[in-house]
Structure 1
Amino acid sequence: MFDGIAGRYDLMNLVMTWGQEPRFVRRTVERAELPDSPVVLDLATGTGDIALEVLRSRYGARITGADFAPEMMEVGRNRPGGGQIDWVEADAMDLPFEDNTFDAVTHGYLLRNVADIPTTLAEQFRVLKPGGRMVALETSPAPDNIIKPFSTAYIKYVVPQISRLITRTPDAYEYLSATSRGFKTPAQIQALLEDVGFEDVGHETHLFGTLAIHWATKPL
Protein backbone atom coordinates (compact mmCIF):
# COMPACT_ATOMS: atom_id res chain seq x y z
CA MET A 1 0.00 0.00 0.00
CA PHE A 2 2.74 2.47 0.96
CA ASP A 3 4.82 1.59 -2.10
CA GLY A 4 1.75 2.35 -4.21
CA ILE A 5 1.53 5.94 -2.96
CA ALA A 6 5.28 6.61 -2.74
CA GLY A 7 5.40 9.15 -5.56
CA ARG A 8 2.70 11.40 -4.05
CA TYR A 9 3.18 10.67 -0.34
CA ASP A 10 4.99 13.93 0.48
CA LEU A 11 2.43 16.04 -1.36
CA MET A 12 -0.44 14.32 0.47
CA ASN A 13 1.19 14.92 3.86
CA LEU A 14 1.59 18.59 2.98
CA VAL A 15 -2.04 18.90 1.90
CA MET A 16 -3.47 16.91 4.84
CA THR A 17 -1.67 19.12 7.36
CA TRP A 18 -2.63 22.38 5.60
CA GLY A 19 1.01 22.97 4.68
CA GLN A 20 2.27 22.48 8.24
CA GLU A 21 4.13 19.16 7.76
CA PRO A 22 7.62 20.73 7.35
CA ARG A 23 7.15 22.64 10.61
CA PHE A 24 6.15 19.47 12.45
CA VAL A 25 9.17 17.64 11.05
CA ARG A 26 11.50 20.42 12.23
CA ARG A 27 9.87 20.39 15.65
CA THR A 28 10.28 16.62 15.90
CA VAL A 29 14.01 16.92 15.25
CA GLU A 30 14.30 19.79 17.75
CA ARG A 31 12.71 17.59 20.42
CA ALA A 32 15.39 14.94 19.82
CA GLU A 33 17.94 17.31 21.41
CA LEU A 34 20.69 15.81 19.27
CA PRO A 35 24.35 16.02 20.27
CA ASP A 36 27.05 17.07 17.80
CA SER A 37 27.70 14.48 15.06
CA PRO A 38 24.90 12.19 16.29
CA VAL A 39 24.18 8.62 15.22
CA VAL A 40 20.45 8.56 14.44
CA LEU A 41 17.95 5.91 13.40
CA ASP A 42 14.85 7.19 11.61
CA LEU A 43 12.21 4.46 11.55
CA ALA A 44 9.28 4.41 9.12
CA THR A 45 11.53 6.81 7.28
CA GLY A 46 9.40 6.70 4.13
CA THR A 47 10.79 9.29 1.74
CA GLY A 48 13.18 10.58 4.40
CA ASP A 49 11.59 13.82 5.63
CA ILE A 50 12.81 13.48 9.22
CA ALA A 51 16.13 11.90 8.25
CA LEU A 52 16.90 14.74 5.85
CA GLU A 53 15.97 17.32 8.49
CA VAL A 54 18.46 15.68 10.88
CA LEU A 55 21.06 15.94 8.13
CA ARG A 56 20.30 19.65 7.71
CA SER A 57 20.34 20.41 11.41
CA ARG A 58 23.45 18.51 12.56
CA TYR A 59 26.75 18.62 10.71
CA GLY A 60 28.43 15.23 10.67
CA ALA A 61 25.27 13.30 11.55
CA ARG A 62 25.29 9.61 10.65
CA ILE A 63 21.75 8.63 9.77
CA THR A 64 20.12 5.30 9.07
CA GLY A 65 16.68 5.46 7.50
CA ALA A 66 14.73 2.22 7.94
CA ASP A 67 11.38 1.23 6.46
CA PHE A 68 9.53 -1.84 5.21
CA ALA A 69 8.49 -0.09 1.96
CA PRO A 70 11.45 -0.07 -0.47
CA GLU A 71 9.80 2.12 -3.09
CA MET A 72 9.19 4.83 -0.48
CA MET A 73 12.89 4.77 0.38
CA GLU A 74 13.81 4.86 -3.31
CA VAL A 75 12.02 8.21 -3.57
CA GLY A 76 14.00 9.44 -0.55
CA ARG A 77 17.28 8.15 -1.94
CA ASN A 78 16.81 10.37 -4.99
CA ARG A 79 16.05 13.53 -3.00
CA PRO A 80 18.82 16.10 -2.40
CA GLY A 81 20.97 14.73 0.42
CA GLY A 82 19.50 11.25 0.08
CA GLY A 83 22.88 9.80 -0.84
CA GLN A 84 24.19 10.68 2.63
CA ILE A 85 21.65 8.45 4.39
CA ASP A 86 22.05 4.70 4.90
CA TRP A 87 18.74 3.21 3.72
CA VAL A 88 17.79 -0.14 5.26
CA GLU A 89 14.73 -2.32 4.70
CA ALA A 90 13.72 -3.42 8.20
CA ASP A 91 10.90 -4.54 10.47
CA ALA A 92 10.34 -2.05 13.30
CA MET A 93 9.36 -4.91 15.62
CA ASP A 94 12.65 -6.78 15.01
CA LEU A 95 15.39 -4.26 14.29
CA PRO A 96 18.65 -5.54 12.72
CA PHE A 97 20.88 -3.38 14.94
CA GLU A 98 23.02 -4.00 18.02
CA ASP A 99 22.04 -2.86 21.50
CA ASN A 100 23.02 0.70 22.53
CA THR A 101 23.82 1.86 18.97
CA PHE A 102 22.01 5.17 18.43
CA ASP A 103 21.99 8.59 20.08
CA ALA A 104 18.40 9.07 18.95
CA VAL A 105 15.54 7.17 17.34
CA THR A 106 12.98 9.20 15.42
CA HIS A 107 9.88 8.19 13.53
CA GLY A 108 6.81 9.67 11.89
CA TYR A 109 3.43 7.92 11.74
CA LEU A 110 4.91 4.53 12.66
CA LEU A 111 3.04 3.34 15.74
CA ARG A 112 -0.44 3.30 14.21
CA ASN A 113 0.87 0.92 11.51
CA VAL A 114 2.49 -1.81 13.64
CA ALA A 115 0.82 -4.93 15.04
CA ASP A 116 2.49 -4.66 18.45
CA ILE A 117 3.29 -1.21 19.84
CA PRO A 118 4.99 -2.41 23.08
CA THR A 119 7.37 -4.65 21.09
CA THR A 120 8.12 -1.78 18.70
CA LEU A 121 8.92 0.58 21.57
CA ALA A 122 10.99 -2.08 23.35
CA GLU A 123 13.12 -2.47 20.22
CA GLN A 124 13.73 1.28 20.12
CA PHE A 125 14.67 1.24 23.79
CA ARG A 126 17.12 -1.61 23.12
CA VAL A 127 19.00 0.05 20.25
CA LEU A 128 19.23 3.45 21.96
CA LYS A 129 22.35 4.37 23.89
CA PRO A 130 21.80 5.17 27.60
CA GLY A 131 20.69 8.79 27.69
CA GLY A 132 19.44 8.55 24.10
CA ARG A 133 16.16 10.09 22.98
CA MET A 134 13.13 8.68 21.21
CA VAL A 135 10.95 11.21 19.39
CA ALA A 136 7.81 10.36 17.44
CA LEU A 137 5.43 12.35 15.27
CA GLU A 138 2.00 10.69 15.37
CA THR A 139 -1.63 11.37 14.63
CA SER A 140 -4.04 11.38 17.56
CA PRO A 141 -7.80 10.90 17.79
CA ALA A 142 -9.59 14.21 18.02
CA PRO A 143 -10.04 15.25 21.66
CA ASP A 144 -13.53 15.79 23.01
CA ASN A 145 -14.03 19.49 22.39
CA ILE A 146 -16.00 21.82 20.16
CA ILE A 147 -13.65 21.15 17.23
CA LYS A 148 -14.06 17.34 17.29
CA PRO A 149 -16.99 17.02 14.84
CA PHE A 150 -15.14 19.12 12.26
CA SER A 151 -11.72 17.48 12.64
CA THR A 152 -13.29 14.02 12.58
CA ALA A 153 -15.26 14.83 9.44
CA TYR A 154 -12.10 16.20 7.80
CA ILE A 155 -10.02 13.07 8.39
CA LYS A 156 -12.92 10.67 7.72
CA TYR A 157 -14.44 12.20 4.59
CA VAL A 158 -12.29 14.99 3.17
CA VAL A 159 -8.85 13.35 3.26
CA PRO A 160 -9.90 10.28 1.22
CA GLN A 161 -11.48 12.55 -1.38
CA ILE A 162 -8.35 14.68 -1.63
CA SER A 163 -6.28 11.51 -1.99
CA ARG A 164 -8.54 10.38 -4.82
CA LEU A 165 -7.53 13.51 -6.74
CA ILE A 166 -3.82 13.50 -5.85
CA THR A 167 -2.83 9.84 -5.61
CA ARG A 168 -5.72 8.02 -7.33
CA THR A 169 -5.48 5.47 -4.48
CA PRO A 170 -8.20 6.50 -2.02
CA ASP A 171 -8.20 3.07 -0.34
CA ALA A 172 -4.79 3.82 1.17
CA TYR A 173 -5.99 7.04 2.74
CA GLU A 174 -9.26 5.51 3.90
CA TYR A 175 -7.04 3.08 5.81
CA LEU A 176 -4.89 5.91 7.16
CA SER A 177 -7.99 7.86 8.12
CA ALA A 178 -9.42 4.90 10.03
CA THR A 179 -6.15 4.19 11.85
CA SER A 180 -5.83 7.85 12.83
CA ARG A 181 -9.33 8.04 14.27
CA GLY A 182 -8.93 4.76 16.12
CA PHE A 183 -5.39 5.33 17.38
CA LYS A 184 -4.31 5.68 20.99
CA THR A 185 -4.44 8.99 22.82
CA PRO A 186 -1.21 10.81 23.78
CA ALA A 187 -1.75 9.76 27.40
CA GLN A 188 -1.96 6.10 26.34
CA ILE A 189 1.24 6.40 24.31
CA GLN A 190 2.95 8.00 27.31
CA ALA A 191 1.93 5.06 29.50
CA LEU A 192 3.30 2.58 26.96
CA LEU A 193 6.64 4.42 26.82
CA GLU A 194 6.90 4.37 30.60
CA ASP A 195 6.05 0.66 30.71
CA VAL A 196 9.00 -0.08 28.40
CA GLY A 197 11.36 1.77 30.75
CA PHE A 198 11.64 5.24 29.26
CA GLU A 199 11.80 8.28 31.52
CA ASP A 200 11.29 12.03 31.00
CA VAL A 201 8.30 11.14 28.83
CA GLY A 202 6.23 13.96 27.38
CA HIS A 203 4.27 15.18 24.39
CA GLU A 204 2.88 18.28 22.72
CA THR A 205 -0.18 18.47 20.47
CA HIS A 206 -0.87 20.34 17.24
CA LEU A 207 -3.70 20.75 14.72
CA PHE A 208 -6.40 21.04 17.38
CA GLY A 209 -5.09 17.95 19.17
CA THR A 210 -5.14 15.63 16.15
CA LEU A 211 -1.35 15.38 15.89
CA ALA A 212 1.21 14.87 18.67
CA ILE A 213 4.97 14.87 19.06
CA HIS A 214 6.09 12.41 21.73
CA TRP A 215 9.51 12.21 23.37
CA ALA A 216 11.23 9.98 25.93
CA THR A 217 14.74 9.24 27.23
CA LYS A 218 16.50 5.95 27.93
CA PRO A 219 17.91 6.11 31.48
CA LEU A 220 21.67 6.35 31.94
Structure 2
Amino acid sequence: MFNGIADRYDLMNLVMTWGQEPRLVRRTVERARLPIEPVVLDLATGTGDVAFEVLRTRPAAQVTGADISPGMMEIGKARPGGDRITWVQADAMDLPFPDATFDAVTHGYLLRNVTDIPTTLAEQFRVLKPGGWMAALEMSPAPKNVFWPFSTAYIRWVVPLIARLIAKDPEAYEYLSRTSRGFRTPAQIHDMLADAGFVDIGHRLHMFGTMAVHWAQKPV
Protein backbone atom coordinates (compact mmCIF):
# COMPACT_ATOMS: atom_id res chain seq x y z
CA MET A 1 0.00 0.00 0.00
CA PHE A 2 2.70 2.50 0.96
CA ASN A 3 4.72 1.66 -2.15
CA GLY A 4 1.66 2.57 -4.18
CA ILE A 5 1.16 6.02 -2.65
CA ALA A 6 4.84 6.95 -2.26
CA ASP A 7 4.91 9.65 -4.94
CA ARG A 8 1.95 11.53 -3.40
CA TYR A 9 2.59 10.79 0.26
CA ASP A 10 4.33 14.06 1.16
CA LEU A 11 1.69 16.16 -0.59
CA MET A 12 -1.12 14.29 1.14
CA ASN A 13 0.47 14.77 4.57
CA LEU A 14 0.85 18.48 3.90
CA VAL A 15 -2.78 18.85 2.81
CA MET A 16 -4.24 16.63 5.55
CA THR A 17 -2.45 18.64 8.25
CA TRP A 18 -3.47 22.03 6.74
CA GLY A 19 0.19 22.75 6.01
CA GLN A 20 1.28 22.00 9.59
CA GLU A 21 3.34 18.89 8.82
CA PRO A 22 6.75 20.65 8.79
CA ARG A 23 6.02 22.30 12.15
CA LEU A 24 4.95 18.99 13.67
CA VAL A 25 8.10 17.32 12.38
CA ARG A 26 10.21 20.08 13.95
CA ARG A 27 8.44 19.64 17.28
CA THR A 28 9.10 15.90 17.15
CA VAL A 29 12.82 16.31 16.53
CA GLU A 30 13.06 18.92 19.30
CA ARG A 31 11.71 16.33 21.76
CA ALA A 32 14.48 13.87 20.80
CA ARG A 33 16.97 16.08 22.72
CA LEU A 34 19.80 15.34 20.34
CA PRO A 35 23.45 15.79 21.30
CA ILE A 36 25.73 17.72 18.94
CA GLU A 37 26.84 14.68 16.89
CA PRO A 38 24.07 12.14 17.44
CA VAL A 39 23.58 8.69 16.01
CA VAL A 40 19.89 8.60 15.17
CA LEU A 41 17.46 5.94 13.96
CA ASP A 42 14.35 7.25 12.20
CA LEU A 43 11.76 4.46 11.95
CA ALA A 44 8.90 4.47 9.44
CA THR A 45 11.12 7.03 7.76
CA GLY A 46 9.07 6.99 4.57
CA THR A 47 10.44 9.70 2.31
CA GLY A 48 12.65 10.97 5.13
CA ASP A 49 10.90 14.07 6.50
CA VAL A 50 11.98 13.47 10.10
CA ALA A 51 15.43 12.21 9.08
CA PHE A 52 16.08 15.35 7.00
CA GLU A 53 14.95 17.54 9.89
CA VAL A 54 17.49 15.78 12.14
CA LEU A 55 20.21 16.64 9.64
CA ARG A 56 18.99 20.22 9.38
CA THR A 57 19.30 20.72 13.14
CA ARG A 58 22.39 18.50 13.61
CA PRO A 59 24.50 18.57 10.40
CA ALA A 60 27.07 16.19 11.95
CA ALA A 61 24.45 13.56 12.78
CA GLN A 62 24.70 9.97 11.57
CA VAL A 63 21.14 9.16 10.51
CA THR A 64 19.71 5.79 9.59
CA GLY A 65 16.27 5.84 8.00
CA ALA A 66 14.45 2.51 8.25
CA ASP A 67 11.15 1.56 6.65
CA ILE A 68 9.39 -1.60 5.53
CA SER A 69 8.45 0.10 2.22
CA PRO A 70 11.30 0.36 -0.30
CA GLY A 71 9.12 2.48 -2.58
CA MET A 72 8.83 5.21 0.03
CA MET A 73 12.57 5.26 0.65
CA GLU A 74 13.33 5.50 -3.07
CA ILE A 75 11.56 8.88 -3.06
CA GLY A 76 13.64 9.95 -0.06
CA LYS A 77 16.91 8.85 -1.60
CA ALA A 78 16.25 11.12 -4.59
CA ARG A 79 15.68 14.20 -2.43
CA PRO A 80 18.55 16.71 -2.02
CA GLY A 81 20.84 15.37 0.69
CA GLY A 82 19.40 11.86 0.42
CA ASP A 83 22.89 10.44 0.19
CA ARG A 84 23.60 11.66 3.73
CA ILE A 85 21.11 9.15 5.16
CA THR A 86 21.68 5.41 5.45
CA TRP A 87 18.49 3.80 4.14
CA VAL A 88 17.57 0.35 5.48
CA GLN A 89 14.55 -1.80 4.74
CA ALA A 90 13.51 -3.15 8.13
CA ASP A 91 10.61 -4.40 10.21
CA ALA A 92 10.06 -2.12 13.22
CA MET A 93 9.10 -5.16 15.29
CA ASP A 94 12.42 -6.93 14.59
CA LEU A 95 15.15 -4.33 14.11
CA PRO A 96 18.46 -5.46 12.55
CA PHE A 97 20.61 -3.35 14.87
CA PRO A 98 22.68 -4.25 17.97
CA ASP A 99 21.64 -3.25 21.46
CA ALA A 100 22.42 0.32 22.61
CA THR A 101 23.33 1.62 19.15
CA PHE A 102 21.49 4.96 18.89
CA ASP A 103 21.40 8.22 20.84
CA ALA A 104 17.81 8.76 19.73
CA VAL A 105 14.99 6.95 17.95
CA THR A 106 12.37 8.97 16.08
CA HIS A 107 9.33 7.98 14.09
CA GLY A 108 6.23 9.42 12.48
CA TYR A 109 2.92 7.57 12.07
CA LEU A 110 4.49 4.21 12.90
CA LEU A 111 2.54 2.74 15.78
CA ARG A 112 -0.87 2.60 14.09
CA ASN A 113 0.66 0.51 11.28
CA VAL A 114 2.23 -2.29 13.33
CA THR A 115 0.47 -5.39 14.61
CA ASP A 116 2.26 -5.41 17.97
CA ILE A 117 2.92 -2.03 19.59
CA PRO A 118 4.55 -3.42 22.78
CA THR A 119 7.10 -5.38 20.71
CA THR A 120 7.77 -2.30 18.58
CA LEU A 121 8.44 -0.16 21.64
CA ALA A 122 10.57 -2.88 23.22
CA GLU A 123 12.76 -2.93 20.10
CA GLN A 124 13.21 0.84 20.29
CA PHE A 125 14.16 0.55 23.95
CA ARG A 126 16.67 -2.17 23.09
CA VAL A 127 18.53 -0.25 20.37
CA LEU A 128 18.66 3.01 22.35
CA LYS A 129 21.73 3.86 24.38
CA PRO A 130 21.10 4.42 28.11
CA GLY A 131 19.90 7.99 28.50
CA GLY A 132 18.70 8.15 24.89
CA TRP A 133 15.33 9.53 23.87
CA MET A 134 12.44 8.29 21.77
CA ALA A 135 10.30 10.95 20.06
CA ALA A 136 7.30 10.19 17.87
CA LEU A 137 4.57 11.93 15.92
CA GLU A 138 1.30 10.01 15.87
CA MET A 139 -2.35 10.55 15.08
CA SER A 140 -4.59 10.72 18.14
CA PRO A 141 -8.31 10.03 18.54
CA ALA A 142 -10.20 13.33 18.57
CA PRO A 143 -10.95 14.30 22.19
CA LYS A 144 -14.64 14.67 22.96
CA ASN A 145 -14.74 18.42 23.41
CA VAL A 146 -16.33 21.28 21.48
CA PHE A 147 -14.16 20.45 18.44
CA TRP A 148 -15.01 16.74 18.44
CA PRO A 149 -17.76 16.80 15.75
CA PHE A 150 -15.54 18.81 13.39
CA SER A 151 -12.39 16.74 14.03
CA THR A 152 -14.19 13.43 13.65
CA ALA A 153 -15.95 14.50 10.46
CA TYR A 154 -12.67 15.74 9.01
CA ILE A 155 -10.85 12.46 9.59
CA ARG A 156 -13.80 10.25 8.62
CA TRP A 157 -15.06 12.07 5.53
CA VAL A 158 -12.80 14.90 4.39
CA VAL A 159 -9.46 13.07 4.39
CA PRO A 160 -10.70 10.26 2.09
CA LEU A 161 -12.30 12.88 -0.18
CA ILE A 162 -9.03 14.79 -0.48
CA ALA A 163 -7.26 11.51 -1.18
CA ARG A 164 -9.57 10.78 -4.10
CA LEU A 165 -8.55 14.10 -5.63
CA ILE A 166 -4.79 13.76 -5.05
CA ALA A 167 -3.75 10.15 -4.55
CA LYS A 168 -3.65 7.31 -7.05
CA ASP A 169 -4.84 4.91 -4.35
CA PRO A 170 -7.54 6.67 -2.30
CA GLU A 171 -8.45 3.39 -0.60
CA ALA A 172 -5.11 3.64 1.18
CA TYR A 173 -6.20 6.88 2.81
CA GLU A 174 -9.51 5.38 3.83
CA TYR A 175 -7.37 2.82 5.68
CA LEU A 176 -5.32 5.61 7.25
CA SER A 177 -8.49 7.47 8.24
CA ARG A 178 -9.95 4.33 9.81
CA THR A 179 -6.79 3.45 11.74
CA SER A 180 -6.48 7.03 12.97
CA ARG A 181 -10.00 7.03 14.41
CA GLY A 182 -9.40 3.72 16.16
CA PHE A 183 -5.88 4.41 17.41
CA ARG A 184 -4.72 4.39 21.03
CA THR A 185 -5.17 7.44 23.22
CA PRO A 186 -2.11 9.32 24.51
CA ALA A 187 -2.76 7.84 27.96
CA GLN A 188 -2.65 4.32 26.51
CA ILE A 189 0.59 5.08 24.64
CA HIS A 190 2.02 6.46 27.91
CA ASP A 191 1.25 3.18 29.68
CA MET A 192 2.80 1.12 26.87
CA LEU A 193 5.99 3.20 27.00
CA ALA A 194 6.16 2.70 30.76
CA ASP A 195 5.67 -1.04 30.35
CA ALA A 196 8.57 -1.06 27.86
CA GLY A 197 10.84 0.46 30.52
CA PHE A 198 10.86 4.13 29.48
CA VAL A 199 10.82 7.01 31.96
CA ASP A 200 10.18 10.77 31.77
CA ILE A 201 7.27 10.04 29.45
CA GLY A 202 5.20 12.87 28.04
CA HIS A 203 3.15 14.08 25.11
CA ARG A 204 1.73 17.24 23.64
CA LEU A 205 -1.43 17.45 21.56
CA HIS A 206 -1.70 19.47 18.35
CA MET A 207 -4.39 20.24 15.79
CA PHE A 208 -7.36 20.18 18.17
CA GLY A 209 -6.07 17.00 19.78
CA THR A 210 -5.93 14.90 16.61
CA MET A 211 -2.12 14.79 16.51
CA ALA A 212 0.29 14.04 19.34
CA VAL A 213 4.03 14.30 19.82
CA HIS A 214 5.22 11.65 22.31
CA TRP A 215 8.58 11.43 24.01
CA ALA A 216 10.28 9.12 26.53
CA GLN A 217 13.77 8.33 27.81
CA LYS A 218 15.64 5.10 28.34
CA PRO A 219 17.02 5.20 31.90
CA VAL A 220 20.74 5.88 32.31
Q: Fold match, TM over 0.5?
A: yes
Q: Kindly provide the amino acid, as one letter, of the partner of residue 26 in structure 1.
A: R
Q: State the superposition RMSD in angstroms.
A: 0.5
Q: How does 1:44-193 map to 2 (within 5 A)?
A: 44-193=44-193
Q: Distance in 1 between matches of 2:196 and 2:130?
A: 14
Q: Distance in 2 between matches of 1:175 and 1:21?
A: 20
Q: Distance in 2 between matches of 1:14 and 1:212?
A: 16
Q: Distance in 1 between matches of 2:219 and 2:3?
A: 36
Partner of 1:8: 8
Gapped regions of structure 1 (runs ≥ 5)? none
Q: Distance in 2 between matches of 1:15 and 1:173?
A: 12
Q: What SS does structure 2 have at the residue aligned with 1:202?
A: strand
Q: Distance in 2 between matches of 1:152 and 1:174?
A: 14
Q: What SS does structure 1 have at the residue aligned with 2:36?
A: coil
Q: What SS does structure 2 have at the residue aligned with 1:95?
A: coil
Q: What SS does structure 2 have at the residue aligned with 1:5?
A: helix
Q: How does 1:193-204 map to 2 (within 5 A)?
A: 193-204=193-204
**Percent of aligned positions that are identical:** 74
> Cα deviation per residue 1:151-203 (whole Å; 9 max; x = unaligned)?
11111111111011101311000000000000000010000000110000000
Q: Kindly provide the amino acid, as one letter, of the partner of residue 209 in structure 1.
A: G
Gapped regions of structure 2 (runs ≥ 5)? none
Q: Distance in 2 between matches of 1:100 and 1:115?
A: 24
Q: What SS does structure 2 have at the residue aligned with 1:91?
A: coil
Q: Kindly provide the amino acid, as one letter, of the partner of residue 50 in structure 2.
A: I
Q: What SS does structure 2 have at the residue aligned with 1:71?
A: helix
Runs of 4+ with >4 A deviation: none
Q: Distance in 2 between matches of 1:59 and 1:163?
A: 35
TM-score, normalised relative to structure 2: 0.99
Q: Distance in 1 between matches of 2:168 and 2:149?
A: 26
> Cα deviation per residue 1:8-48 (whole Å; 9 max; x = unaligned)?
00000000000000000011001111001100000000000
Query: Matched residue pairs, number?
Result: 220
TM-score, normalised relative to structure 1: 0.99
Q: What SS does structure 2 have at the residue aligned with 1:208?
A: coil
